[in-house]
Structure 1
């Protein structure tokens, strides 16, 4: 857990988000192991971020997990879909990272049974990847990464050839942070949400 805390705190959340790209997110589901390399993620900077759930210190039963220790899981619903977020920075500082896309590794047949799609459409969005993994409730909300069935590996990793950034997608249109460039993704990876076909690199998928 010390390594987990060191990774998820002590640096700007934007830097942690970029470093999260290429890490393996896995879930030991009832059907078997499913996993994928993180290819897209968004940083949310807490009380000062007008697009964040904890903007101006807002704290509710729903977003309480964001205030947990570094590596605490925050699962929430958005437009009828579940989304996966992880708290970063020391407990009480509600900054987080939303995982928006993964490139499947383990359990592809399980993921396709959970979400009958092929190719990049399987996991190229926050709601899509959760459905593919089979996480369809709040059971693992407010639990720590690597203490339960949801894990992030710091050994099984891919190295992005290039990390690109853009404004976040679908955020609140309030305040000055709406268009902040806090969405980071592996350039050319087909599993990045909204990636144009002409920009997809199916040969290397954007990895070194």
Structure 2
């Protein structure tokens, strides 16, 4: 796997894909966060697509428009962060304006700034550092203040990475109570990557 590349934000056009295609295209890309403490980055190895008004598991199901979900109605490539059970989760807004869809970044494989990540989130095993949506945001310093930023501009952005050899597909995780939506195969991950959440 060639990982010798320039780390710079992708173009805005990268995000102009149907949500489930974007969820797969993000795999292998680099998620980068710049803070006063330093720069951390990790390869995205797991995502979930949320298909908006018709998806009972989406925050915007039924076109629900609240202060929290407002950003989902914006253009593709915006940052949607929210808190769940004290954890901050980070999503890529997808689809078009007034089409409130998003891709949850569920796990990353640490690349740069690993020592800083470990200070923020001390763990015994490195594979537990960023193998979940709340874990990766804490390790990388991603928080509610990132809400509404653009994923193609610093300080929080997506950069080109590598092409996964094989992408696995299955149902999303942790969305009980969403009826048939909990069975939709809208979770994607880099097969056999140790940083996938489960």
TM-score normalised to structure 2 length: 0.91
Distance between the aligned counterparts of 1:90 and 1:5, measured in 2?
13
- Deviation of 1:172 after TM superposition, in Å, equals 4.3
**What corresponds to 1:187 in structure 2?**
191
* Structure 2: 5+ residue stretches without partners: 1-9
The runs of 4+ residues in structure 1 deviating greater than 3 Å are none
**What corresponds to 1:159 in structure 2?**
163
Distance between the aligned counterparts of 1:180 and 1:38, measured in 2?
21
Alignment of 1:95-106 (within 5 A): 95-106=101-112
**What corresponds to 1:127 in structure 2?**
134
* CA RMSD, Structure 1 to Structure 2 (Å): 1.3
- Deviation of 1:4 after TM superposition, in Å, equals 3.7
Alignment of 1:28-177 (within 5 A): 28-117=34-123, 118-135=125-142, 137-154=143-160, 157-177=161-181
* Structure 1: 5+ residue stretches without partners: 195-208
- Deviation of 1:116 after TM superposition, in Å, equals 0.2
Distance between the aligned counterparts of 1:124 and 1:176, measured in 2?
26
**What corresponds to 2:3 in structure 1?**
none
CA change 1:80–1:99 in 2 (3 A) is same
Indicate the SS of the match to 1:25: strand
Higher RCO, Cα 8 Å, sep 6+: 2
Count how many residue pairs are aligned between Structure 1 and Structure 2. 188
Distance between the aligned counterparts of 2:70 and 2:98, measured in 1?
10
Query: Does residue 1:27 correspond to 2:17, yes or no?
Result: no
